Amino acid sequence: MTHSALPLLIDDIYFGERDGLHEYMKQERLEANILDNSFVNPPKVKLQELYTGARYIIAGPKGAGKTTLLWHLKRSAPNHQSKVILFKSQIRKEDRDRLDKMIDMVIVEDQRKFKVEADYKTIWEWYILKNVVRLMSPESILSGHDIYKDIAIILEADKRKFNTLYEKMYLNSAKGQVKISFDIGMLKTELGAEIEARREQGDKISLLDLVRLVQDALPSIKLKVDYPVRLYFDELEFFMSEDGDGERDRRMVRDLLFASYTTNTICTACGLDVVVYASVRTELLNSIGGSTQEINKIVNAFGVVLNWYHEDVETHPVLTIFSNKIQNSEIMKVGRYSEDVWKTYFPMSVRGKGIKRYLLDIGLHRPRGVLLRIISAVGTAGERDRFTENDFLDTEETYGAYMLEEFVDEIAATYDEPATELIISLFRGNHYAFTRADFDGRLRKTSATNKAAKAILERSGTDNLLKLLFRIGMIGNHFDIEEAGVPKNRQVWAVRGATEPLLEKRFVLHQSVRKVLATV
How many other C-beta atoms are found inside a 10 Å radius of the C-beta of residue 227?
Answer: 17
Q: What pLDDT is recorded for position 116?
A: 44
Does pLDDT of 264 surpass 80?
Answer: yes
For residues 9 and 21, what is the distance between their CA atoms, to the nearest angstrom? 26
What average pLDDT does the structure give for the chain? Answer: 87
The H or E element spanning position 197 is helix 191-198
Maximum average pLDDT range among 60-74, 87-101, 352-366: 352-366
Contact predicate 305/282, CB 8 Å? yes
3-state helix, strand, coil in the chain (%, to 5): 50, 15, 35
Cis peptide preceding 7, ω within 30 of 0: yes
Q: What pLDDT is recorded for position 174?
A: 47
The H or E element spanning position 487 is strand 486-492
How many other C-beta atoms are found inside a 10 Å radius of the C-beta of residue 257?
Answer: 29
For residues 457 and 75, what is the distance between their CA atoms, to the nearest angstrom? 47
For residues 94 and 87, what is the distance between their CA atoms, to the nearest angstrom? 13
Q: What is the dihedral of CA 470, 473, 479, 483, to 10 degrees?
A: 100
Contact predicate 370/40, CB 8 Å? no
For residues 183 and 160, what is the distance between their CA atoms, to the nearest angstrom? 20
Least confident interval from 165-169, 232-236, 370-374, 487-491: 165-169
Q: Name the β-bridge partners of 349.
A: 354
Please write the tens of the pLDDT for every residue from 432-456: 999 999 999 999 999 999 999 999 9
* DSSP letter for each residue of 287-336: TS-TTHHHHHHHHHHHEEE-----S-GGG-HHHHHHHHHHHHHHHHHHS-
Q: What pLDDT is recorded for position 80?
A: 75
- Rounded to two decimals, the pTM is 0.89
Please write the tens of the pLDDT for every residue from 467-479: 999 999 999 999 9
For residues 226 and 67, what is the distance between their CA atoms, to the nearest angstrom? 26
Please write the tens of the pLDDT for every residue from 293-304: 788 899 999 999
| Confidence band, pLDDT 50/70/90 cuts, at residue 241 | low
Domains of the chain, residue spans: 1-41+308-394, 45-305, 417-513
Does pLDDT of 90 surpass 80?
Answer: no
